[in-house]
Amino acid sequence: MDETAELAELYDASYRRLVVQLYAVCGDLADAEDAVQEAFVTAIRKGRGLRGVANPEAWVRTAALNRLRHSWRHSSVVRRYQPRVPGPQAPVEAGPDRVAIVTALAQVERDQREVVVLHYLADLGIAEIAAELGVPEGTVKSRLARARTRLAPLLDEKEDRHA
C-alpha cells in the first residue's frame, strides 16, 4: 500500500474519533476539526508519511493537541491587544449529555482536561498518556484524580437537572 492510501485509511478510521477527543479538550467543534485536519496535513507534508511511527493515530492526536496549544497561546496574545468583535456563532448540534460533559470539562484546568479525554475518550492507559504528553506517570495519575474530584459534582449536578 502506498503512503497516500495509508494516510487515507488512517484518516477514514480515526478522523471522527480524534475530532470528538479534541472537541472534549477545547469545547469548540471548529477548532477541534481544524486541529485534526492540520495534523493530517502535517503528516502528508512529512514526506514519508507515518511509516516510521509506532502508533500513527497517537502521532496525529499529539500533533493536533500541539496545534490547539499553539492556537491558545496565539489567541491569548491576540485577545490582549485586539478588541473583541462579536460575530455570528455557528450552531453546534449536540445532545444534552454531550453539552453537559463539554461544559463540565471546560471548568477543569487544561492539563487535567487533556488526561481525562485521553483516558476516557481515547481509551489510553496511564503509561500511554504519560508517553503521549511527555510527563511522568505520577503526574498523569494526579491530574486524573484532581479532574475526577472536580468533575464529579459538576456531572452529578447535570444529572439531577435532567432527572
118 near 139, Cβ under 8 Å? Answer: no
- Amino acid letter, residue 41: V
Mapping DSSP to helix (H, G, I), strand (E, B) and coil, where does residue 122 land? coil
Q: Which of residues 50 and 35 earns the better pLDDT score?
A: 35
Residues 121-135: what's their mean pLDDT?
90
Q: What is the pLDDT of residue 90?
A: 47
Q: How confident is the model at residue 95 (pLDDT cuts 50, 70, 90)?
A: low
- Rounded Cα distance, 104 and 27, in Å: 10
Cell digits for 140?
A: 498523569
For the chain, the first-to-last Cα distance in angstroms comes to 51
Residues 126-148: what's their mean pLDDT?
93
Cell digits for 83?
A: 478588541
Cell digits for 35?
A: 486541529
- Rounded Cα distance, 153 and 54, in Å: 38
E strand or H helix that includes residue 21: helix 3-26
